[in-house]
Amino acid sequence: MKPRDGRRDDAQFDLFNHLRKWTYSAHQSFEGDGQSWLDEVTEVAEEFHDKLLSCRLDPMPTQLIHDLAADCAVWTWETMHTGIVTSAENSSS
């Protein structure tokens, strides 16, 4: 039986690391706006989380998966498309 200690933290790290690698390559061919990018990253996060369940005992809450996806999507968008997300956020506040 696999130990339960630290599994959720490991899964969070694995998911975020996978998303960072995926977004770094995927953003180059992506055509769309920030919301479409967030939707795409969230879908990839959910799919990868499903793969993690085969080797993890406890699933992550859906909100946590979406939060990690959002963090990664925003980071990539701001880093690769300098200022676009920030400008949109500032104009809506």
**pTM higher than 0.75:** no
Q: How many residues does the chain have?
A: 93
Distance CA 74, CA 18 (A): 15
**pLDDT for position 1:** 31
Residue-wise pLDDT for 18-69, tens only, equals 888 888 788 878 888 888 888 989 999 888 888 777 766 577 788 888 888 8
Per-residue pLDDT for 3 more than 70? no
**pLDDT for position 9:** 60
Residue recorded with tokens 């790290």: 13
Pairwise pLDDT comparison (22 vs 6), residue with the higher score: 22
3-state secondary structure of 26: helix
Residue ranges per structural domain of the chain? 59-93
In this structure, what token pair is assigned to residue 10?
Answer: 């490991």
Predicted confidence band of residue 81 (pLDDT cuts 50, 70, 90):
low
